[in-house]
Amino acid sequence: MSWSSLLALAMVASPVAPTSAGSAALPSTTTTTTYHRVDVDGTGVFYREAGPADAPTIVLLHGYPSSSRMYDTLIPLLATRYHVVAPDYVGFGNSDAPAPTTYTYTFDHLAGTTNALLEKIKVDRYVLYMQDYGGPVGFRIMVKHPERIRGIVVQNANAYKEGLGAKWTNIAKYWADRDAHPEQLDAFVGFEGTRLRHIANSPHPERYNPDTWVDEFAFLSRPGQREIQAELLYDYRTNVASYAAWQQWMREHKPKALILWGRYDPSFIAPGGEAYRRDLPEAEIHMLDAGHFALDEANDEIAKRVLDFMQRLTP
């Protein structure tokens, strides 16, 4: 029997079932992420958006050296119920990266631009989700506009000196004399530092996609990035100097808080997560079996805890 005859016989014996309404792919109406760029004071700022526009908003603030892309796996899980906005800071991701001669790279300025973006797209009441650099950006926004904050989610975003890991002792040398310590900047923007930011100390390195740090290093290798990141690394000293003020703000305003901390993070160590309890005794704190970029290891757990937290918030 020929191959064509066998194929015809097989098709008769095992007909392909027609596609039913129950098995057909359904169009997504709330979890489709859309991508936008808007002009903020002459600078193009990129952001991702998903979820129903009339639902409570969660603003996702990314870390270093990532972008809003770090939330790609989290956004669809939150956007089934909530409106999600995830911007890229100026100098990161798909936002413009003007030279430091035309844009002042300080955390004050990043926060100001990010706040101006939220105002421009009419997001004026939200929960702030902060990771790493998202902490100093988010705290500055909170201090300026406490009336806009429904609650905070902190994921390895440090606000306490006891949360600073061993490497910060050497970075402090850069703050004292940046020209004398180029090795600190070299490590900060180098490939190995970028890789270890994900997998260092983790007992589960197999859970990390190496494409992530390869892409981040490619970003850091773009023309002009070394100069941009040098400015922000130097300005990070202002964040440590602001810890006491941020702690006082939390004591005074008592925001509802969910603290999610990757316990293996060598940069922002676990005592920094536990320390939030001093100023927010009612905060919900969870130490996760994860590292600095906890979403790489515990995305589903984080999504569940954020959804539960959001459901308990008052309007």
d(CA 206, CA 224): 33
pLDDT tens digits, 42-56: 999 999 999 999 999
CATH number of 31-166+239-312: 3.40.50.1820
pLDDT tens digits, 273-297: 999 999 999 999 999 999 999 999 9
- pLDDT reading at 16 higher than 90: no
Average pLDDT of the segment spanning 131-146:
98
Catalytic one of 62, 83, 198, 292 = 292
Query: What was the pLDDT predicted at 41?
Result: 95
- pLDDT reading at 18 higher than 60: no
Domain chopping of the chain, boundaries = 31-166+239-312
d(CA 269, CA 88): 25
Query: What was the pLDDT predicted at 235?
Result: 98
pLDDT tens digits, 184-228: 999 999 999 999 999 999 888 999 999 999 999 999 999 999 999
Q: Which residue has the tokens 């606000």?
A: 159
Instruction: Please say if 181 is a catalytic residue.
Output: no
Which residues 6+ apart lie within 8 Å of 258 measured at CB? 151, 152, 153, 154, 283, 284, 286, 305, 306, 309
